Amino acid sequence: MRLLLIGCGVLLRELSDAIVHSPHLIDVQFLPTGLHDSGLKKMREHIQEATDAAEGKGYNAIALGYALCGTGLADVQARSVPLVLPRAHDCITLLMGSREKYKQYFNANPGTYFRSIGWVERADELQDQVVGLGLEGGLEALIEKYGEDSGRYLYEELMSYEHSYSRLTFISTGLEVDDSFRQKAQVEATEKNWKFDEFAGSTTLFHRLLAGDWNDDFLVVPPHHRIVATYDDQIVGAVAIDEPRK
Amino acid sequence: MANLKKLYDAVLNGDAKTAVAVTQEAIAEKLDPAVLISDTMIPAMAEVGRLYECEEYFVPELLLAARAMKGSLTLLRPLLAASGTKPTGKVVIGTVKGDLHDIGKNLVASMLEGGGFEVTDLGADVSPDKFVSSVRELKPDLLCLSALLTVTAPSMRTTIEALKQAGLRESVKVMVGGAPVTPEFAREIGADGYSENASQAVVTARQFCHPDKAA
């Protein structure tokens, strides 16, 4: 089988490991890390553009190394080549290895912020993406642009999400070459005064995505269908492009 | 005499100090607070919304305008209450159960306040029971539900179901929004309205409260 992988930069190592272990011929295109932070519409457009560019190149399927991610994948259409994607809320599901594990952990530990190799080593790139919030340059840039009083106010407001969290969990997948990623996550937790936790994740979903092992944990979107969010345990579904919207 | 153009500009430019100062002058001069809101504050916030829609303003500008507007409203509200002036509509807003994110919800709340609505903010991680009891107690025209995470969006459905079970669904219009929400989902769970951003939320809310005045 010949596959095109379109993947999120934050999952580069996990997806690369899955490429190495796949029996199939795989071409790959990684999109910028944290595309979702720059607006879901942009994320959708980027992914659609990338899938459209793969038309007529002999692929059997296009594998999306993404989760639904808000509605970042919703409405992405399969043209003549099927799309395949994991049934995942966001990349935390992928890193943990199953949607059940994520739901269970989420319910048991509200207010958790997650980190993985990609989220640790690409933290700077993720910051660059939050242009919509104006946080990219930190406090100094806000003060410079809006003045001392307003700049400080904005910084406090925009950083107020930190008060909503009480825990930072590092998800290991076994691909960590050393302990530095976990350590950095732990330092971040200490700095933010959050409890630090570790979760033994898995590369299973990445491997299965690229091995073509697509059972119920994956959605195959047939040609001329689009991805929809289902807001249930299936997370995503496919409907025909010409089917009227509800 | 209080310079209302200055107040309009202060809200538009997010200058809280000037907004408060001009409002104080206007109060001292016994200007009608309801007129001040309808003729100056609401148009200023509508312009803020317009600039956001056409991407001249971003979240920081919205936050600063909302702060300026709130500074002024804090002074005007007691006067409005004393004169018996009715708000555009009464709103109860909150982020649904399991979801602790509130920047988006806060922006919607601020824009609605700026649009002349009386807003009760229940905060984040609000249970269906809490929404139900607030609707029963406060009798709002509108209930606004927010979620940021894909995993918590189904709590919107649960909340609407809880309203139905409590026999309150027909007494209030429900609006939903947030990153995982689509118009299809809004319709499927039986919400009355959906909006893509804080600025549109005001337009939608107005349609529900005063269909004739919707702009």
- What is the structure's pLDDT at A129? 46
Which of A17-26, A58-67, B148-157 is least confident? B148-157
Is pLDDT at A158 greater than 90 in this prediction? no
Burial readout A172-196 (b: 16 or more C-beta within 10 A, e: otherwise): bbebeeeeebbebbbebbeebebeb
In this prediction, residue A163 has a pLDDT band, given cuts at 50, 70 and 90, of confident
- What is the structure's pLDDT at B211? 60
Q: Where are the alpha helices (DSSP H) in chain B?
A: 4-12, 16-28, 33-36, 42-53, 59-83, 103-114, 128-138, 154-165, 183-188, 198-209
Backbone angles phi, psi at B209, to 5 degrees: -85, -40
Is pLDDT at A131 greater than 60 in this prediction? no
Nearest to B24 by CA among B49, B7, B42, B5: B7
Q: Do B98 and A69 touch (CB under 8 A)?
A: no
Which of A155-169, A175-189, A215-229 is least confident? A155-169
What is the DSSP track for B151-183?
TTTHHHHHHHHHHHHTT-GGGSEEEEESTT--H
Radius of gyration of chain A (CA): 19
CA-nearest residue of chain A to B178? A70
CA–CA dist A83, B10 (Å, integer): 51
Residue A222, burial from CB neighbour count under 10 angstroms (0-12, 13-18, 19+):
exposed
Six-digit token string for A33: 């890390």
What does the pLDDT average to over A214-222?
96
- What is the structure's pLDDT at A14? 97
Residue B63, chain A, CB below 8 Å: the answer is yes
Report how far apart, in Å, the C-alpha atoms of A183 and of each of A173, A189, A198, B38 are: 15, 10, 11, 55
Amino acid (one-letter) located at A90: D
Q: What is the topology classification, in CATH, of domain B90-213? A: Rossmann fold (3.40.50)
Residue B53, chain A, CB below 8 Å: the answer is no
Through-space distance between the first and last CA atoms of chain A, rounded to whole angstroms: 36
Q: Do A164 and B180 touch (CB under 8 A)?
A: no
Is pLDDT at A162 greater than 90 in this prediction? no
Nearest CA to CA, how far is A144 from chain B (Å)? 13
Please tell me the CATH superfamily of domain B4-83, with its number.
Methionine synthase domain (1.10.1240.10)
Residue B150, chain A, CB below 8 Å: the answer is yes
Q: Do B103 and A158 touch (CB under 8 A)?
A: yes
Q: Do B151 and A228 touch (CB under 8 A)?
A: no
Contacts of A103 in chain B (CB under 8 A): 151
Residues of chain B with pLDDT under 70: 1, 211-215
- What is the structure's pLDDT at A139? 87
Q: Do A229 and B185 touch (CB under 8 A)?
A: yes
- What is the structure's pLDDT at B214? 46
Six-digit token string for A107: 């319910």
Number of other residues whose CB lies within 10 A of the CB of residue A209? 26
Six-digit token string for B71: 């500074």
Nearest CA to CA, how far is A46 from chain B (Å)? 17
Is pLDDT at A42 greater than 50 in this prediction? yes
- What is the structure's pLDDT at A136? 67
Number of other residues whose CB lies within 10 A of the CB of residue A25? 12
Return left, alpha or beta for A124; rule: phi > 0 is left, psi -120 to 50 is alpha, else beta.
Answer: alpha
CA–CA dist B41, B43 (Å, integer): 6
- What is the structure's pLDDT at A133? 65
In this prediction, residue A41 has a pLDDT band, given cuts at 50, 70 and 90, of confident
Q: Do A110 and B98 touch (CB under 8 A)?
A: yes
Nearest CA to CA, how far is A21 from chain B (Å)? 30
Nearest to B120 by CA among B92, B80, B87, B143: B92
CA–CA dist B215, B51 (Å, integer): 15
Residue B70, chain A, CB below 8 Å: the answer is no
* pLDDT tens-digit map of B102-112: 888 998 998 89
- What is the structure's pLDDT at A83? 97
Q: Do B98 and A132 touch (CB under 8 A)?
A: no
A136 SS3 class: coil
A68 SS3 class: coil
Q: Quickly tell me which residue has 């799309």 as its tokens.
A: A83
Query: What residue spans define the domains of chain B?
Result: 4-83, 90-213
CB distance A118 to A15 below 8 Å = no
Domains and CATH numbers, chain A: 2-89+203-240 (3.40.50), 93-200 (no CATH)
Q: What percent of chain A has pLDDT over 90?
A: 70
Residue B21, chain A, CB below 8 Å: the answer is no
